[in-house]
A and B are shown apart, each in its own frame.
Chain A
Amino acid sequence: DVKVTQSSRYLVKRTGEKVFLECVQDMDHENMFWYRQDPGLGLRLIYFSYDVKMKEKGDIPEGYSVSREKKERFSLILESASTNQTSMYLCASRGARDRPYGYTFGSGTRLTVV
């Protein structure tokens, strides 16, 4: 089975800190995604990458950036954390020729910004 690993389950950061959320997948998937989950809003796409060094903005990219230097790793960066970025962050990956648009998700990182 594909494994998608997010480096931290829980994080507490201070306002203004630079925050790195790391995601690693072990199945040579081309496509990787970062979502955030908030009550009543569902999963909203922040950024995605369909290949190494390629990135595309999702629906809510403001305040975030990403890095994909290697195929297996996709990092989400909060340049200056703010309290409205407190959320559950979910990373996902998918092979370009996988079953129709099915993703494999990591377990999530619960980020609290104080």
Chain B
Amino acid sequence: DQQVKQNSPSLSVQEGRISILNCDYTNSMFDYFLWYKKYPAEGPTFLISISSIKDKNEDGRFTVFLNKSAKHLSLHIVPSQPGDSAVYFCAASGAGNQGGKLIFGQGTELSVKP
């Protein structure tokens, strides 16, 4: 069963506008959520995280929102830039998880057009 789901495989946005990437999860025991960004032929790189005790975390142009009642998180990128074009993975980890195992979603490919 897919515990972390990204239902949109792709998203296209105009440069300067807001990009909103969504992620749903099923396991209420997850205590951290992360977003990773991946360019072709490179490994994913960490972007931003949020603890389950918070509902918002902001880092420059990137903000992650967490809605625990809906088991939903989203990543907002404002303003979007062409260099943001990449695949974005949502990931989650549970309390007491030995080794810090992360469970990833399917990914959303973001294309920011100039």
Residue of A nearest to B32 (CB): A100
Are B32 and A42 in touch, CB under 8 angstroms? Answer: no
Which residue of A is nearest B9, CB measured?
A40
B99 close to A50 (CB less than 8 A): yes
Specify the chain B residue showing the minimal Cβ separation from A10: B41
Q: Which of A33, A40, A41, A108 contacts B42 (CB 8 A)?
A: A108
A102:B34 contact, CB within 8 angstroms: yes
Whether A50 and B106, one on each chain, are in contact in the complex, defined by CB atoms closer than 8 angstroms, is no
Task: Give which listed residue, B6, B41, B93, contacts A101 with CB less than 8 A.
Answer: B93
A31 touching B89 in the complex, CB below 8 Å, given contacts A42-B105, A43-B44, A103-B46: no
Name A38's closest neighbour in chain B (CB-CB): B106
Known contacts being A42-B106, A101-B102, A103-B46, is A108 close to B41, with CB within 8 Å? yes
Closest partner residue, chain A, to B5 (CB atom) = A42
Does B45 lie within 8 Å of A105, measured CB to CB?
A: yes
**Residue of A whose beta carbon sits closest to that of B105:** A42
A31-B41 contact in complex given A40-B106, A42-B6, A102-B34, C-beta closer than 8 Å: no
Question: For B60, what are the chain A residues with a Cβ–Cβ distance below 8 Å?
Answer: none
